[in-house]
């Protein structure tokens, strides 16, 4: 993780909010736990710094840039009328490869505890055997019958929340009800992800992906991106009449062409190993040109420990071409490129691009993005430096 990208994110968000009329921000973090961030930035609750950190997924709460973003949004909203306050959403799975899927079930149960205690008590009894095993490290070891039972209970939970919409909304608010229903659906998304999960540890996949045939896990990974796209559509349906939404996530999720993973660099030259349909492809098919996708490229990294240092740029690829302009930071609108000719052809061909320090993707910029941001030098976040 590098400081420059996260600072760039914050600058983009501030500009989008203050100058372009954006009224919602969606991040690559768990949907269910992001409800705490949502309430906090709107001034509905007051969370401690440690609670804000815990509400983020994947350790993103340890990044000071994210804490600064939350504080800025909260301070900005305090000066705005209700209709102009910026809402913050997470749109990812709550569990995924991590042992947290049960948190979505717990969130729904807590909602019912406050709105209909009798109904909540009954549902808690039904879900008593779900919560201990609805997590990545336990779920994959269950029998097919046990998985079917969990799926049935989660589907029943979502159906119950839908059925009781009127009394539950009266007991709380439309906003809280819609979040509870989405958290129930988020549990179903994690369930679908875990049901399609192959029988191996994810860490082994990251270390030696070539040992695992793509057919064993590519559709499982696509379940995550499908969930992200569906959750962002939910945000768009809630926010579409208020303003615009800024969605910030890894390039591999936002791009609108297949995610072609070449795995760790080896000799001889790599062959395509994996083709995934990212969230951006699903969103493009639904929203067409009502969304603008911006990809990120960089030149070099400095200050990283050896084991976390970014791979060097491909001398014949996109990173080197963009770096040759000798401009530290810039944004390029690919929609303004000539419709034909050498320049158009270059950006239409797939080139190597780096995914941090352990793998390479093949990306055709024009197919994947509407615009790109280039940062010549990236540096590690303070959180990354502490970890090493």
Mean pLDDT of 342-364: 83
Q: How confident is the model at residue 10 (pLDDT cuts 50, 70, 90)?
A: confident
C-alpha pair distances (Å), 206 with each of 56, 116, 271, 304, 322: 22, 44, 17, 20, 29
The more confidently predicted of residues 307 and 29 is 29
Mean pLDDT of 364-372: 95
- Flag the least confident range among 181-185, 261-265, 343-347: 261-265
Whether residue 75 is predicted with pLDDT greater than 90 in this model: the reply is yes
pLDDT at 235: 97
Q: What is the pLDDT of residues 108-128, one digit of tens each?
A: 999 999 999 999 999 999 999
Percent of the chain with pLDDT over 90: 63
pLDDT at 211: 64
Whether residue 6 is predicted with pLDDT greater than 70 in this model: the reply is no
CATH of domain 93-195: 1.20.1440.30
pLDDT at 212: 62
Which ranges of the chain would DSSP assign to H, the alpha helix? 3-20, 31-41, 49-55, 64-78, 102-115, 117-126, 136-139, 144-163, 165-171, 174-195, 202-207, 218-239, 251-254, 279-287, 318-323, 342-348, 365-368, 382-387
Q: What is the pLDDT of residues 286-317, one digit of tens each?
A: 999 899 999 999 988 888 888 788 888 888 88
Distance CA(66)–CA(7), nearest Å, equals 9
The more confidently predicted of residues 153 and 201 is 153
Whether residue 328 is predicted with pLDDT greater than 60 in this model: the reply is yes
Whether residue 361 is predicted with pLDDT greater than 60 in this model: the reply is yes
Whether residue 161 is predicted with pLDDT greater than 90 in this model: the reply is yes
Distance CA(161)–CA(48), nearest Å, equals 30
Tokens representing 84?
Answer: 């102009």
User: Domain ranges in the chain?
Assistant: 3-92+196-387, 93-195
Whether residue 26 is predicted with pLDDT greater than 90 in this model: the reply is yes
Tokens representing 221?
Answer: 């990974």
pTM beyond cutoff 0.85: yes
Q: How many residues does the chain have?
A: 388
pLDDT at 311: 83
Q: What is the pLDDT of residues 248-298, one digit of tens each?
A: 999 999 999 988 877 544 444 445 567 789 999 999 999 998 999 999 999
The more confidently predicted of residues 204 and 149 is 149
Q: How confident is the model at residue 381 (pLDDT cuts 50, 70, 90)?
A: confident
| For the chain, the helix, strand and coil percentages under 3-state DSSP, each to the nearest 5 | 55, 15, 30
pLDDT at 353: 85
pLDDT at 276: 85
pLDDT at 249: 92
Pick from 34, 8, 23, 130: nearest CA to 73: 23
Whether residue 178 is predicted with pLDDT greater than 50 in this model: the reply is yes
Mean pLDDT of 32-45: 96
Mean pLDDT of 331-347: 92
């Amino acid at each position: 993780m590098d400081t420059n990208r996260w600072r760039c994110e914050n600058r983009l968000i501030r500009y989008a909010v203050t100058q372009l009329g954006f009224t919602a921000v969606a991040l690559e973090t768990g949907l269910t736990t992001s409800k705490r961030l949502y309430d906090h930035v709107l001034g509905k609750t007051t969370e401690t710094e440690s609670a804000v950190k815990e509400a983020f997924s994947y350790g993103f709460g340890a990044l000071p840039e994210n804490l600064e973003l939350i504080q800025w949004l909260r301070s900005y909203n305090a000066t705005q009328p209700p209709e102009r306050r910026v809402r913050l959403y997470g749109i990812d799975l709550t569990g995924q490869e991590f042992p947290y899927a049960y948190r979505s079930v717990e969130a729904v149960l807590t909602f019912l505890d406050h709105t209909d205690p009798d109904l909540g008590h009954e549902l808690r009894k039904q879900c008593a055997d779900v919560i201990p095993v609805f997590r990545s490290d336990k779920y994959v070891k269950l029998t097919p019958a046990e998985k079917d039972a969990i799926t049935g209970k989660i589907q029943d939970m979502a159906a119950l929340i839908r059925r009781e919409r009127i009394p539950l909304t009266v007991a709380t608010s439309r906003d809280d009800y819609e979040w509870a229903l989405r958290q129930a659906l988020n549990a179903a998304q994690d369930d679908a992800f875990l049901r399609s999960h192959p029988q191996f540890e994810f860490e082994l996949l990251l270390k030696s992906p070539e040992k695992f045939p793509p057919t064993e896990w590519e559709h499982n990974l696509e379940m995550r991106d499908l969930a992200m796209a569906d959750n962002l559509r939910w945000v768009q349906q809630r926010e579409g009449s208020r303003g615009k939404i800024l969605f910030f996530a890894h390039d591999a999720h936002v791009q609108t062409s297949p995610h072609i993973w070449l795995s760790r660099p080896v000799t001889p030259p790599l062959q395509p190993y994996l083709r995934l349909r990212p969230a951006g492809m699903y969103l493009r098919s639904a929203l067409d040109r009502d969304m603008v996708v911006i990809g990120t490229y960089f030149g070099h990294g400095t200050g990283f420990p050896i084991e976390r240092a970014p791979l060097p740029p491909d001398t014949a690829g996109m990173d080197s071409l963009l770096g040759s302009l000798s401009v530290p930071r810039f944004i390029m609108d690919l929609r303004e490129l000539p419709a034909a000719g050498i320049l158009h052809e270059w950006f239409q061909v797939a080139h190597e691009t780096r995914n941090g320090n352990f793998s390479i993707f093949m990306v055709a910029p024009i197919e994947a993005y509407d615009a790109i941001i280039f940062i010549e030098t990236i540096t590690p976040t303070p959180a990354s430096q502490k970890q090493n």
